[in-house]
Structure 1
Amino acid sequence: MHRMQPTDMALVERPEPPAYTLWQLVLYFLRLGTLGFGGPVALAGYMHRDLVERRGWIADGDYKEGLALAQLAPGPLAAQLAIYLGYVHYRVVGATLIGMAFVLPSFLMVLALGWAYVRFGGLAWMQAVFYGVGAAVIGIIAISAYKLTTKSVGRDKLLWAIYLVLAAVTIVTESEIAWLFLAAGVLAWFWRAPPKWLRQSGANALAAAQVPAASGFLSALDWPLLTQIGVFFAKAGAFVFGSGLAIVPFLYGGVVTEHQWLNEKQFVDAVAVAMITPGPVVITVGFIGYLVAGLPGACVAALATFLPCYLFTVLPAPYFKKYGKLPAILAFVDGVTAAAIGAITGAVFVLAKRSIVDLPTALLALATIALLLKFRKLPEPIIIAAAALIGLAIYPVLRS
């Protein structure tokens, strides 16, 4: 029998070097954080288009693993996916730098908007801008959802069933139910690569446990304001599943109802700021923190929200990388990915109900879809800028 020589072992164990440098990836995510509009759905689509399809830096399997992990773990989907993609070839250093590069541009933008909001007493122009941008964003995320569906679901009947169920549930409930992603992964696993004990015993029952919600006793303590902000936003980052938009109801309950840090109009303005700025939607926490306690409040709120999602991505990542090629894990990831894309597609309809409110917004959304289908390399920021100008021009006329 041939005994493997040390040189042979080195060839087997040494992975292929990545086709890019860490700093190239950092610059990409700085740009995406600066110009990436459309919320978590669109941002996930941009990452697949740019890093998997066009550049070939990230393998499709690694992308799917990252998307599955981002859906299973609590926290904002786009930020967690970015952190995982940074981890793929450059481990903890890559994950850390990519997470910072992705979040920092939009955080600085919301700081500037928070300063202007406090200084000039509200942002009346924001409604006009969001009127146009919101409609264009629907077109952008619809195209992203379509591309993800055709690429990842394909013609697989089981994945289509999972996809359609999750899309329907998201549309009906207007929320993303975390345990359904786990159930979809288990279903695909048992269907495609059933474990030996299942084949032998014919067992057909599975108990699914949900992560309990965070207890509220911490928020009842009379701590200084910055500590209260840190505790509240850490809970928001650690116990809210789904896309960045899923955090909005949780924030409303704590910021407006429980702590009464903001009134309803200020909270709506904060959400609008998140929607008209690029990067992750969750960055609205920076704006809220600024209104509550200035620059320290913004920094504490952002750090407390994003630290849990960073840990929930980096800590399980080695196990995803080590065992990710096993048939059972591949089947599980395919099921979760189909569920995630179904939920993303359902979210398009949910968001459309809020953003497409009349004929002009419907035409803007359809025009965006048509432009992106015809001009595949048309940069989305150009569409967003044009939609913002249209909103500024026609919104005051329509509401006068």
Structure 2
Amino acid sequence: MTDHPVPAPVSLRVAFLYWLKLGFISFGGPAGQIALMHSELVERRRWISEGRFLHALNYCMLLPGPEATQLAVYIGWLLHRTRGGIIAGVLFVLPSLLILIGLSWIYLAWGHLTVVAGIMNGIKPAVVAIVLAAAWRIGSRTLRNGILIAIACAAFVAIALLALPFPLIVLAAALAGMLGARLRPQAFQPVGGHGGAHAQPETQRPRALIDDDTPTPEHARFSRRRLAAVLIVGVGLMLLVWLLLAGWGGSGGKGGGTLAQMGWFFSKAALLTFGGAYAVLPYVVQGAVEQYGWLSAPQMIDGLALGETTPGPLIMIVAFVGFVGGWTHAVFGPAAPWLGGVAGATVATLFTFIPSFVFILAGGPLVESTRGNLRLTAPLTAISAAVVGVIASLALYFGREVFFAGGSVQPQAIVLGLLAAVALLRYKVGTITLIASCAAAGLVLSYWHV
């Protein structure tokens, strides 16, 4: 070891300010958010060691839900017990929720204006390119052999051509992984570990507050009593809120029925978010657009564009879906559509993220003990392969809505989409830069035709 002193214990106030700051600057999707936390918490502040950080990340990668959010909850929990985890997770999500509520209100109130419509028409082709690039990026990392490629193709056909529900595809992929672990285990081996050549030698690495050899805190050790308590509180809170909403709807409150539907739907979506937000978006589209009619397909694309330009996890697009659904369904009556929108966004966010808190606070020590067990990781590997096909189907769905809007070919959208795809895949242009450029192009084109 070097002579670097071990950092002083972190107060809850200092941690609070850091998590609040992170909530406002966490752009770039999960990879960017994890990189931000690594740079700040491992390298600069040394609150946690590289090994413990990656150990936590590997755990979060096994779970459904936004892994960057779960990683923040995990580290906050490790530092300051349950309250630290709750503070970290809430502050990671809250700025994004407030920003999206504001943007959604502007979108619905003034989206018909030429300037707003032009900007959104420019962003939509960029969104198609972003989804396509996500499929390529995840596929290049996940589809390591013919068996996994076949699973991805089967998932694409299942959702794009056969219109099978997303949960069924996840279940089928998991079963394929279980079978593959027995018949062809080498095809389902997980990708090699993180860090690797970049890890510092033990003799050169400064010590961290929570280092590799730091004993596991008492509150982070597995306890059946603690597991039961967290499950009861977490599930009980969701059930209580849902029952209140359902009771309001059953007693004549139409808005309560809509909000109860949202609660039930987004709690299911939270349990299916394997492989990142793009993987669960087709399920959200099936439910929010096609089943419940909370918003239209073009509005869904606009929401994804807004989600890409705001901090926080991309799955926060559920706040936009909830806001538009609460607004258009007049949850609190036609006189206050914005209030219905705020209620919808809040309900969607609450039911999407509570499961992530429960997974971390209740199951951390238990799930960590399963790492390296092929019988448990092979189904996740197969699900990751299926996710590639599902994301590709989402690109096809959005492309149809953008490039053939109104049943006619949209040449300007096609050109913008092709340029955006080249910028992403060939020149590695950042998402924010790409969306800003396409928004400017859409604005210029809208006034060019006025």
TM-score relative to the length of structure 1: 0.67
Matched, 1:330 2:377: yes
**Alpha-carbon separation, structure 2, partners of 1:159 and 1:121:** 42
* AA matched with 2:323: G
Residues 201-220 of structure 1 aligned to structure 2 (within 5 Å): none
**Alpha-carbon separation, structure 2, partners of 1:120 and 1:146:** 35
1:67-115 residue CA offsets vs partner (Å, 9 max, x unmatched):
6632xxxxxx6xx334333344444657644543454344333433455
**Alpha-carbon separation, structure 1, partners of 2:427 and 2:160:** 30
**Alpha-carbon separation, structure 1, partners of 2:129 and 2:290:** 30
* AA matched with 1:313: S
**Alpha-carbon separation, structure 1, partners of 2:389 and 2:21:** 31
Matched, 1:134 2:161: no
Secondary structure of 1:323 counterpart: coil
In 2 relative to 1, CA 221–100 (structure 1 residues): closer, same or farther, beyond 3 Å?
A: same
* AA matched with 1:135: P
Residues 1-400 of structure 1 aligned to structure 2 (within 5 Å): 27-32=21-26, 35=27, 43=29, 66=60, 69-70=63-64, 80-91=66-77, 96-97=86-87, 99-113=89-103, 115-116=105-106, 122-123=112-113, 125-154=115-144, 156-173=145-162, 177-193=166-182, 221-224=250-253, 227-240=256-269, 243-244=280-281, 246-252=283-289, 272-273=302-303, 275-277=305-307, 278=310, 279=314, 280-284=316-320, 285-290=322-327, 292-293=331-332, 294=336, 296-316=339-359, 317-318=363-364, 319-357=366-404, 358-376=410-428, 378-395=429-446, 397=448
In 2 relative to 1, CA 254–187 (structure 1 residues): closer, same or farther, beyond 3 Å?
A: closer
* AA matched with 2:354: L
Q: Is the 8 A contact 2:159 2:165 kept in 1?
A: yes
1:31-71 residue CA offsets vs partner (Å, 9 max, x unmatched):
34xx55xxxxxx45656787799x9979888767646632x
Correspondence for 1:5: none
Secondary structure of 2:63 counterpart: helix
* AA matched with 1:31: I
Q: Is the 8 A contact 1:176 1:343 kept in 2?
A: no
**Alpha-carbon separation, structure 1, partners of 2:113 and 2:164:** 29
* AA matched with 2:132: A
* AA matched with 2:174: G
Secondary structure of 2:369 counterpart: helix
Secondary structure of 1:315 counterpart: helix
* Structural RMSD (CA): 4.2
Q: Is the 8 A contact 2:248 2:256 kept in 1?
A: no
Q: How many residues align?
A: 336
In 2 relative to 1, CA 131–173 (structure 1 residues): closer, same or farther, beyond 3 Å?
A: farther
* AA matched with 2:417: A
1:136-173 residue CA offsets vs partner (Å, 9 max, x unmatched):
1222222222121111222x222222112112223224
In 2 relative to 1, CA 93–83 (structure 1 residues): closer, same or farther, beyond 3 Å?
A: farther
**Alpha-carbon separation, structure 2, partners of 1:121 and 1:335:** 41
**Alpha-carbon separation, structure 2, partners of 1:361 and 1:159:** 33
In 2 relative to 1, CA 121–311 (structure 1 residues): closer, same or farther, beyond 3 Å?
A: closer
1:188-209 residue CA offsets vs partner (Å, 9 max, x unmatched):
2222247xxxxxxxxxxxxxxx
How much does 1:220 deviate? 5.7
* AA matched with 1:109: I
In 2 relative to 1, CA 374–101 (structure 1 residues): closer, same or farther, beyond 3 Å?
A: farther
* AA matched with 2:421: I
Q: Is the 8 A contact 2:122 2:442 kept in 1?
A: yes
1:276-303 residue CA offsets vs partner (Å, 9 max, x unmatched):
3444321221244356445653443223
* AA matched with 1:385: A
In 2 relative to 1, CA 255–141 (structure 1 residues): closer, same or farther, beyond 3 Å?
A: closer
How much does 1:388 deviate? 1.0
Give structure 2 stretches of 5+ with no counterpart: 1-13, 44-49, 184-241, 274-279, 405-409
* AA matched with 2:72: G
How much does 1:396 deviate? 5.2
Q: Is the 8 A contact 1:145 1:345 kept in 2?
A: yes
Secondary structure of 1:325 counterpart: coil
Deviates more, 1:175-184 or 1:21-30: 21-30
Q: Is the 8 A contact 2:122 2:440 kept in 1?
A: yes
**Alpha-carbon separation, structure 1, partners of 2:92 and 2:402:** 26
Give structure 1 stretches of 5+ with no counterpart: 1-20, 37-42, 71-76, 195-213, 257-261
Q: Is the 8 A contact 1:233 1:305 kept in 2?
A: yes
**Alpha-carbon separation, structure 2, partners of 1:157 and 1:118:** 46
* AA matched with 1:281: I
**Alpha-carbon separation, structure 1, partners of 2:87 and 2:70:** 11
